[in-house]
Amino acid sequence: MTDKIRIGALISGGGTNLQAIIDACHDDRIHGRMVYVGTDNPDAKGLARARQDNIPTFSVDYRSIIRTVKAEPDKVDLPSDFDISDIQAKQSFFNDRVDPDKIKLFLISRAIAEARLLEAMKQYPFDLLVLAGYMRNLTPYFIDRVNTDYSRPRIMNIHPALLPAFAGVDGYGDTFRYGCKVGGCTVHFIDYGEDSGPIIGQRAFQILPEDTIDTIRQKGLKLEWTLYPACIQLFAQDRIKVVERSFDSGGGGKTVRKVVVIEGSNDRRLEGEKSRR
């Protein structure tokens, strides 16, 4: 049996997915252990879940950092290895119609906060970073310092919609408002875009005429709490491979995309057992 993988987590709120992962580590559905929980929100209620389990915690107050950068953008102390040209060229959150100065301000403020996250994370060596309700977009500055081997990405996220539909902060709400008949959740690796990285696993549920936004969220969360641990276990078993595939995009053109291949499995459902919340 190989050693348990070391899992770090970032949260912003209540941490129900964090609890699902902690539970799965305890009952061996994940061959791993949680080594830290960090947050952008010092008041995140999910920190109590980590402390109850004696997991080290830390916080970086993004709001304070963003206010400081907006007030005095020319006086901020940038990380010594921050290259704004490189980060701007890589990011794909914003299109060409967005004011370049706004993009620059966003990237600078986030890099300062991310440098503090990375400094805190240095104390706790980890194999996989999971975003468990982390509500901040990570910039290429952060991603490049965690994904040092791009053949093996190690930042995983769960999203409340069936990607690539409804990227962004309110996947279940967008699903409901659009009138979809099916909703779901997606676990994927992080890349330079918004919820655009290679998909690891998905689960779906039926949307009934009597459903509301609240009942849709409840259905989705129940699936999230089983799907996320199942995908993390695949990582722990070293069964996830990211490969490039070329597709005919019409007119003689080719599209190259990174996709996830799950080795040694015919089960595409990626189902896990229920865990307590």
- As a whole number of angstroms, the distance between CA 176 and CA 211 comes to 9
Identify the CA nearest to 213 among candidates 266, 158, 254, 174: 174
CB contact at 8 A, 9 and 37: yes
Task: Find out whether the peptide bond into 164 is cis, omega within 30 degrees of 0.
Answer: yes
Q: Which residues contact 214 (CB under 8 A, 6 or more apart)?
A: none
Identify the CA nearest to 83 among candidates 144, 146, 149, 154: 144
Identify the CA nearest to 132 among candidates 11, 43, 51: 11
Is 31 part of the annotated catalytic residue set? no
Catalytic: which of 26, 31, 159, 188? 159
Cα distances (Å, whole numbers) of residue 147 to 128, 141, 155, 200, 273 = 10, 10, 7, 17, 30
Task: Report which residue type is found at 206.
Answer: Q
- For the annotated catalytic residues, the residue numbers are 159
